[in-house]
Amino acid sequence: MNAVEPDRPRAEESDGPRVSVLIPCYNEATIIRRSYEKVKEACRAQPVTYEIIFGNDGSTDGTLESLRLLAGEDPAVKVVSHYPNRGAGFTYRQLYRVAAGEIIFQMDADMAMPPERTLPELLESLEGADMTVGSRYAGIRADYPLKRRIFSRGYTLLTRLLFRLDITDTQTGFMAFHRKILADVDLRSDGFELLTELVAQANACGYRVVEVGLPWHHDTTSGETDVWKESVKMLVGTIRVKRRFNRFLKGRRP
C-alpha cells in the first residue's frame, strides 16, 4: 500500500495506487538507492497514489539486498525477484503480473531519462493517448555515444518497417500506458525486444501510441553492455517478435 503524504492530495488508500512504477534491475547495487530516491521524489511531486516495484533479474552484486532494505523502509516499494538472470523482457512480464495501478509507468534503473521530467510529461501526454513513449530523437538530441546512436537509429528504422510504426524510438525503456492494454496483447519476449513487441501490438490493437522527446544521459556507472553482442541478440529477438506479430494479427482478424 502507498504511503499517503499529508501535505499532498491523494486518493483514499482503499482505492489502491493510481500509478505503478516498474523498474527492472540487474547488478545495480552501486546506483539503486540513488535511483530510488530520484523516483520517489518525482512520484511525491504528482497528485496521485503510487507504488514502486523493482524487478531483480538474477543480480549477483547485492542488488537484491539493497532492494529489500528499501522495501523495509518504504511501504510504497515492492520487490519481485527471480534467479538466474532471465532478461529484461522476462522481468517486465513478472512485474506486469503484480502491478496494481491503472497506469503502468516503466523506466530503466540507470535513470537515463530524468524522472522529474519523465514522470510528469509522460503522464500528461496520456491524457490524449493510450500509450506514450519517451524518445531520444523526437525533436531532441540525445547525449549518446555515436556508435550507440548509429545502432539505435538503425534498429528504429528496422522496427518502423517491420511493424509500421510512426514513433522514432521504442527502446529507451521509459514509457507509460493504461493497464487495460495488457489484456489485449500477448507478450512473449525475454529480452529488450519486448518493448518493441508491446508497442507494435498495442498499435495494431488500435490504441493511440504517441512519443515525447526527453533528455537522455548515457550513464555507465553500473556497467556497459557490448553493443555488437547486444545488437545481434536484439536482431534475432526482433525477428522472432515479427513472426509472433504476424500470428497475432491473424488471430485478431474476424
Domain contains 207: yes
80 touches 56 (CB < 8 A): yes
The total of structural domains in the chain comes to 1
Q: In this predicted model, what pLDDT tens digit does every residue of 214-252 receive, in sequence order? A: 998 866 565 556 666 677 877 888 999 999 999 999 987
Task: Give the range of the structural domain holding residue 34, as residue numbers without chain letter.
Answer: 13-252
Domain contains 8: no
pTM of the predicted structure, to 2 decimals? 0.86
Cis preceding-peptide flag for 47 (omega within 30 of 0): no
Task: List the CATH number of the domain containing 37.
Answer: 3.90.550.10
Domain contains 165: yes
117 touches 197 (CB < 8 A): no
Q: Whole-number mean pLDDT of the chain? A: 87
Q: In this predicted model, what pLDDT tens digit does every residue of 169-211 receive, in sequence order? A: 888 899 999 999 999 999 999 999 999 999 999 999 999 999 9
Domain contains 1: no
154's enclosing H/E stretch is helix 146-163
Distance CA 26, CA 109 (A): 9
Those residues with Cβ within 8 angstroms of residue 47's Cβ, 6 or more apart along the chain or in another chain: 8, 9, 10
pLDDT of amino acid 148: 66
Distance CA 181, CA 225 (A): 31
Average pLDDT over residues 70-90: 97
Domain contains 7: no
Is 85 strand, coil or helix? coil
Q: In this predicted model, what pLDDT tens digit does every residue of 96-152 receive, in sequence order? A: 999 999 999 999 999 999 999 999 999 999 999 999 999 988 766 666 666 666 777
